[in-house]
Amino acid sequence: MGVEGGMKCVKFLVFFFNFIFWLCGIALIALGIYVQLELKNTLVITSASASGVPIVLIAVGVVIFFISFFACCGAAKENYCMVTTFAILLTVIFLAEIAAAIAGYIFKDQIQTVIDKEVREEMKMYKSDKDIAKVMDDLQKGYSCCGATNFTDWFEVTEFKNQTVPWSCCKNNTDCTKKPTTDNVNNEGCVIKIEAWMKKHVVIVAAVALGIAFFELLGIIFACCLMKGIRKGYEVM
């Protein structure tokens, strides 16, 4: 009776934690979409590496969403095969997340390089593409920045080689386009501003990831316990 009652508790915990996983999957999908939209409004992505983070978040969220639903069914029906499959898949995801965290830490210094490349590509297409021009203007006005590193970066663009800058670089709606100086132009580059925004929000992403990893570990443990109980042939009601 004690074992039966204990297995009932494990079954409930497996079901409960998978419901939490299901919610976490939705949260990751929403977070990935938010980051992607924010980057889209900030940069016109020209390389896959720049949009890698939101894509990974959405992909992991979708996988967790379906696996957790699958596991809830397995726990409810006390199906050994389904619970075992869930435990294996969850372990693989857990290990993949650890590998992704290590890779993210190793390559964190490359973020600035990627952003710098994106901003400079947009600057080159400022005059030829109205959509890119709007994104660049919104970026410079929204972040109070100018150019990649500073406003002199615009002088390297063919259309601005006579040392002019776009109107969005100007401070306090002043006219600085033809005679830009440190007094009438936003002095900070956009790369530093975007990187600062990303570093600020990466804390949220890290907190969500750690929370999910904790629940995943507990889920693996409880799933293994339930597998053991089912295999031994105890009836779990």
Question: Using one digit for the tens of pLDDT, what is the confidence trace for 69-100?
Answer: 777 777 777 777 777 888 888 888 788 777 76
Q: Which CATH superfamily is domain 112-191 in?
A: Tetraspanin (1.10.1450.10)
Using alpha carbons only, give the angle 16, 28, 143 rounded to the nearest 5 degrees: 150
pLDDT of residue 55: 74
Residue with tokens 């132009």: 185
Long-range contacts of 229-232 (CB under 8 A, 24+ apart): 229/3, 229/6, 229/7, 229/10, 230/78, 230/80, 230/83, 231/80
User: Strand, coil or helix: what is 223?
Assistant: helix
pLDDT of residue 154: 94
Q: What is the C-alpha separation between 118 and 191, in angstroms, rounded?
A: 9
pLDDT of residue 107: 67
Q: Which of 190, 234, 186 is nearest to 4 (CA)?
A: 234
78 C-beta neighbours (distance < 10 Å), count: 17
Q: What φ, ψ does residue 64 adopt, rounded to 5°?
A: -60, -40
Q: What is the C-alpha separation between 2 and 13, in angstroms, rounded?
A: 17
Please state the length of the chain: 237
pLDDT of residue 43: 58
pLDDT of residue 237: 44
Low-confidence spans in the chain with pLDDT less than 50 = 1-3, 45-49, 234-237
Q: What is the C-alpha separation between 199 and 138, in angstroms, rounded?
A: 20
Residue 185: beta bridge partners?
Answer: 170
pLDDT of residue 1: 38
pLDDT of residue 147: 92
pLDDT of residue 3: 42
Chain region(s) in the chain for CATH 1.10.1450.10: 112-191
Four-point Cα dihedral 215, 221, 224, 226, nearest 10: -80
Q: What is the C-alpha separation between 54 and 39, in angstroms, rounded?
A: 9
